[in-house]
């Protein structure tokens, strides 16, 4: 029996990278998966691949920082699937700037997508999870939440805030059999990482004991663990597949 048979999952930012890998792994383990992403065409391609695996899948165009858009998107998911059992807050962006040069708009957008997006999507699915006393919420943070990084103060701050949100919410919902946990990957070989300035990528990889970026397939199994009964005793935790960049 597949580990996620009968579960309905939502993966934000699931059109590519870590989100796509998680969505496909969940589907391989029996889940129906909704892909929420601003890139609808690519999300539809992922959903098509999931349906070819014999699972239900839909793609919904959503900007996770838009309150009305999140509400409408998740309503579409519940109409298609029914109750949502698993939420993976993965949607994110990456930019670089020294703080002294950082435009306010760059700071605000980073917080809007990562932190506001995680809050809005979580708030939207919680009533159903609390009503049914069942749910898994998995937030994608970053090792930079622990370590920080030059030219990434906005990103590091947003990801650290996600860990604080994860721990606080975990206290609120544990009695309802809803778990909330985070994953803090190191640099992963995705489009986002490859688009960062070359000097930044070289510096970061030189810091890592393994001297290489991780792969999306090295991250997705951590999400699977947290989504299954085998991960049921993790609560408010942050798991750290980061190649040794932060050893905690």
Burial of 131 (0-12, 13-18, 19+ CB in 10 A): exposed
Residues 234 and 179 sit within 8 Å (Cβ to Cβ): yes
Residues 91 and 36 sit within 8 Å (Cβ to Cβ): yes
Please give the helix or strand (H or E) that residue 168 lies within, else none.
helix 153-173
Q: Which phi and psi angles does 204 have, rounded to 5°?
A: -65, -45
Q: Assess whether 233 carries a catalytic annotation.
A: no
SS3 10: strand
SS3 238: strand
Q: Find the distance separating the first CA and the last CA of the chain, reported in whole Å.
A: 34
Q: How far apart are CA 143 and CA 163, in angstroms?
A: 11
Q: Which of 155, 171, 176, 234 is catalytic?
A: 155
Active-site residue numbers?
A: 155
């Amino acid at each position: 029996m597949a580990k996620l048979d009968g579960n309905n999952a939502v993966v934000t930012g699931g059109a590519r990278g870590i989100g796509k890998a998680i969505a496909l792994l969940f589907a391989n383990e029996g889940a129906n998966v909704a892909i929420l992403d601003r890139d609808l065409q690519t999300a539809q391609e992922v959903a098509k691949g999931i349906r070819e695996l014999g699972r239900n899948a839909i793609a919904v165009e959503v900007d996770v920082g838009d309150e009305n858009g999140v509400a409408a998107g998740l309503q579409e998911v519940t109409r298609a699937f029914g109750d949502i059992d698993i939420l993976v807050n993965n949607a994110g962006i990456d930019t670089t700037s020294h703080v002294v040069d950082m435009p306010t708009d760059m700071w605000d957008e980073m917080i809007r997508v990562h932190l506001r997006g995680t809050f809005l999507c979580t708030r939207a699915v919680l009533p159903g999870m609390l009503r049914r006393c069942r749910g898994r919420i998995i937030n994608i943070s970053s090792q930079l939440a622990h370590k920080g990084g030059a030219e990434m103060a906005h990103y590091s701050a947003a990801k650290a805030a996600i860990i604080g949100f994860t721990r606080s919410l975990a206290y609120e919902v544990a009695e309802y059999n809803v778990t909330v946990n985070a994953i803090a990957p190191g640099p992963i070989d995705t489009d986002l990482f490859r688009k960062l300035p070359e000097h930044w990528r070289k510096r970061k990889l030189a810091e890592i004991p393994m001297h290489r970026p991780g792969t999306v397939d090295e991250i997705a199994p951590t999400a699977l663990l947290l989504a299954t009964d085998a991960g049921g005793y993790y609560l408010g935790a942050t798991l750290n597949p980061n190649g040794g960049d932060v050893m905690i």
